[in-house]
C-alpha cells in the first residue's frame, strides 16, 4: 500500500532545484503538490497588494508546469496547522516535505507542524531551498552570527560553492489526483475596481520561465557593465530578479552556478558577475539577521535608537507615499513604485533616507508602505534594509549620512531621464533646475507651464534645515544612550 508524499510549496514556486519536490520524487511514492494561502503567518505570501498580484500569476504558471509533468497542484486557504494534517489524513500520506522559511512566525509554526506530524507517524522533513547557505552555517570564529556584511560575505565565500542545483523532475505522473482544492480565481488576489496593477504586466513576467529569461538576458547583455550601471535608474543596468527571488521562482544557488559558468565562458564579465553575486550574498546576510534577531521587523537592531524622537506627520507621509514631496528624485521613485511595483535600489535608498531623516518619520511606516506596494516585498530584506538606511540596523550607514535628494539626482540621473519619465509635469525644465525646480526663475517656470504649489508641489522641507534637525535628533539619541 502506497504512502503518498505531500510537497508543501511556499516561497519556492518552481520545479527546478526544488529540494522538497526532488526528495518526494526520489521517495518514489505518489505526490500531492499543495499550496496553502496563509494570511495569518507574518512573512507568508502574499505580504501586500502588489505581491498578491504576483502570487496569482506565479501560482498559475506553477500549476501549468506541474500539469505538464502529469501532476496536480492543489490550492487550499487557511491555517496550515489545520490543513496539512487534514490533507495528510485524507490521502494517508507518509511524508510531508517543504523548503524552509526564515521568518520568526513561520519558524515557530513549522516546528509545531513538524512535531504534530511526527507524532502522527508521518515523516516531516524540511530543506534549504531559499539561500546559498543556511543561517547556522555562516558563523564567526567564536560561533556567533555576523553583524557586519563584509566579513560575513568573506566567510560565506570561504565555504566554497553551494551545492549544484537539482534537476527538475521529468514526470509527476505517479501523483495523487483525488484531492479537491480552491479555484485560484476565488482567492481574488488580482485588483479589479480599480485595476491599479494594469501596468505591471508590461514590465513583468511572473513564474519560473520569466525568471529564467530575466537571468539569461542579464547575463547576456547587462552584467558586464553591472558594476558601473547598477546605480543609474534610467538605465536597465540591474538584474530585476528580486521579485522572482522573493517568490522562489529561481533559486540562489542556480543563479550562483549559472553566473559563474558565464564568467568562465566570458572572463570580461567576471567583475560584473562578482558584483552581482555580492548582492545575492547581501540577501543571505539579511536572512541571517532576521533568523538571529527575530524581533528585527519591529524593533531597532541598535537599541539606542529606541529613544529617537520620531514625528507623526500624516500629511507629509501621504505626500511621500504619493510622490508629491517637491523633490523630483524622491517623487520619481515613489511614482515608479506605485506604477510598476518596483523601485530602483539606488532610489530606494534616497526615498527611505528622505522619509526617516528629512521628515523624521519612523522607518517602520516606510517599511509597511513598501511591504504593501513592492512586488519583491520580503520581510528579511525589507526590514533590514530600512534599518540600514535609518542608521539603526546592522552594519548600518552612519546616521549622519543623510542623502541629499538634489545631489543624488544630479549624480545618478545627470541627464534627468529618470525624473522626466516619472515626473512629466516638470520635464521641460533644463537640467540645471530639474532636481530643484523651486530655484528656477519665474519666467522659466511660466514658459514650462509650472506653477509651484499647483502643478508641482513646493518642497515639504528645506534640505539644509532638515539635515540640521535630523542631526540634532541624533544628538538626543546619543545623549539618552
Domain residues of the chain, as ranges?
Answer: 5-129, 131-162+207-292, 303-480
Q: 402, 419, 383, 392: which is closest to 462 by C-alpha?
A: 402
> Angle formed by the axes of helices 345-353 and 379-390, to 10°?
50
Q: What pTM was computed for the model?
A: 0.96
DSSP of 149-201: HHHHHHHHHHT-SPPPPPPPPS---SB--------GGGG--S--TT-TTTTHH
Q: Which residues pair with 97 in a beta bridge?
A: 7, 125
Q: What is the pLDDT of residues 151-172, one digit of tens each?
A: 999 999 999 999 999 999 999 9
Q: Which of 8, 256, 369, 386 is catalytic?
A: 386
> Average pLDDT of 417-431?
97
Q: Which of 279, 292, 313, 338 is catalytic?
A: 279
> Residue 135, Cβ neighbours under 10 Å: how many?
19
Q: What is the CATH number of domain 131-162+207-292?
A: 1.25.40.80
Residue 386: active-site member: yes
Does the pLDDT value for residue 481 go beyond 70?
no
Q: Which of 196, 345, 425, 431 is catalytic?
A: 345
- Strand spans (E) along 39-183: 73-77, 95-99, 123-127
> Average pLDDT of 115-120?
97
Pairwise CA distance, residues 440 & 400, whole Å:
29
| pLDDT score, position 176 | 82
Q: Which of 8, 320, 363, 388 is catalytic?
A: 363
| Stated length of the chain | 481
Pairwise CA distance, residues 327 & 127, whole Å:
46
> Average pLDDT of 18-28?
97
Q: Which of 2-16, 148-162, 284-298, 390-404 bottoms out in mean pLDDT, i.e. has the lowest?
A: 390-404
> pLDDT: is 386 or 46 the higher one?
386
Q: What is the CATH number of domain 303-480?
A: 1.10.579.10
Q: Which of 8, 153, 282, 369 is catalytic?
A: 282
Q: What percent of the chain has pLDDT over 90?
A: 91
> Average pLDDT of 232-247?
97
Q: Which of 310, 313, 338, 431 is catalytic?
A: 310
Tell me the pLDDT band of 44, cut-offs 50, 70 and 90.
Answer: confident
Residue 279: active-site member: yes
Residue 282: active-site member: yes
Residue 363: active-site member: yes
Tell me the pLDDT band of 92, cut-offs 50, 70 and 90.
Answer: very high
Prior bond of 48 cis (ω within 30°): no
Residue 310: active-site member: yes
Does the domain made of 5-129 have the CATH classification 3.30.470.20?
no
Return mean pLDDT, the chain: 95
Tell me the pLDDT band of 99, cut-offs 50, 70 and 90.
Answer: very high
Q: What is the pLDDT of residues 356-405, one digit of tens each?
A: 999 999 999 999 999 999 999 999 999 999 999 999 999 877 777 899 99
| pLDDT score, position 193 | 82
Amino acid at each position: 500500500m502506497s504512502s503518498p508524499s505531500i510537497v508543501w510549496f511556499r516561497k519556492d514556486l518552481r520545479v527546478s532545484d526544488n529540494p522538497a519536490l526532488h526528495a518526494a520524487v526520489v521517495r518514489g511514492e505518489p505526490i500531492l503538490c499543495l499550496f496553502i494561502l496563509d494570511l495569518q503567518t507574518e512573512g507568508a505570501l502574499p505580504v501586500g497588494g502588489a505581491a498578491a498580484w504576483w502570487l496569482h500569476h506565479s501560482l498559475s504558471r506553477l500549476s501549468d508546469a506541474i500539469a505538464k509533468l502529469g501532476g496536480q497542484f492543489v490550492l487550499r486557504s487557511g491555517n496550515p496547522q489545520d490543513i496539512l494534517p487534514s490533507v495528510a489524513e485524507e490521502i494517508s500520506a507518509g511524508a510531508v516535505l517543504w523548503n524552509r522559511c526564515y521568518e520568526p512566525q513561520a519558524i515557530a509554526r513549522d516546528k509545531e507542524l513538524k512535531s504534530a506530524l511526527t507524532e502522527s507517524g508521518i515523516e516531516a522533513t524540511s530543506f534549504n531551498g531559499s539561500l546559498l547557505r543556511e543561517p547556522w552555517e555562516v558563523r564567526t570564529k567564536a560561533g556567533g552570527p555576523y553583524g557586519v556584511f563584509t566579513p560575513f560575505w568573506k566567510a560565506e565565500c570561504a565555504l566554497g560553492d553551494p551545492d549544484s542545483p537539482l534537476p527538475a523532475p521529468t514526470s509527476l505522473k505517479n501523483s495523487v489526483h483525488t484531492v479537491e482544492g480552491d479555484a485560484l480565481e476565488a482567492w481574488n488576489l488580482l485588483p479589479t475596481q480599480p485595476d491599479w496593477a494594469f501596468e505591471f504586466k508590461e514590465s513583468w513576467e511572473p513564474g519560473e520561465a520569466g525568471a529564467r529569461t530575466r537571468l539569461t538576458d542579464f547575463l547576456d547583455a547587462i552584467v558586464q557593465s553591472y558594476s558601473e550601471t547598477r546605480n543609474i535608474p534610467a538605465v536597465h543596468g540591474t538584474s530585476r530578479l528580486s521579485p522572482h527571488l522573493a517568490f522562489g521562482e529561481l533559486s540562489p544557488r542556480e543563479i550562483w552556478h549559472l553566473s559563474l559558468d558565464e564568467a568562465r565562458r566570458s572572463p570580461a564579465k567576471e567583475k560584473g558577475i562578482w558584483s552581482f553575486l555580492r548582492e545575492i550574498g547581501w540577501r543571505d546576510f539579511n536572512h541571517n539577521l532576521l533568523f538571529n534577531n527575530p524581533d528585527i521587523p519591529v524593533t531597532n537592531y541598535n537599541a539606542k535608537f529606541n529613544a529617537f524622537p520620531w514625528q507623526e506627520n500624516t500629511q507629509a507621509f501621504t505626500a511621500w507615499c504619493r510622490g508629491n514631496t517637491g523633490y523630483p528624485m524622491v517623487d520619481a521613485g515613489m511614482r515608479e513604485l506605485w506604477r510598476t511595483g518596483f523601485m530602483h535600489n539606488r532610489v530606494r535608498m534616497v526615498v527611505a533616507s528622505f522619509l526617516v531623516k528629512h521628515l523624521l518619520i519612523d522607518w517602520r511606516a516606510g517599511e509597511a508602505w513598501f511591504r504593501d506596494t513592492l512586488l519583491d516585498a520580503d520581510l528579511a530584506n525589507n526590514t533590514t534594509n530600512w534599518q540600514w538606511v535609518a542608521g539603526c540596523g546592522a552594519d548600518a550607514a552612519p546616521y549622519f549620512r543623510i542623502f541629499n535628494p538634489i545631489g543624488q539626482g544630479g549624480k545618478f540621473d545627470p541627464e534627468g531621464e529618470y525624473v522626466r519619465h516619472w515626473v512629466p509635469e516638470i520635464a521641460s525644465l533644463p537640467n540645471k533646475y530639474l532636481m530643484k525646480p523651486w530655484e528656477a526663475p519665474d519666467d522659466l517656470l511660466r514658459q514650462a507651464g509650472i506653477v509651484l504649489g499647483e502643478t508641482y508641489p513646493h518642497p515639504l522641507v528645506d534640505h539644509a534645515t532638515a539635515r540640521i534637525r535630523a542631526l540634532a535628533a541624533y544628538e538626543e539619541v546619543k545623549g539618552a544612550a
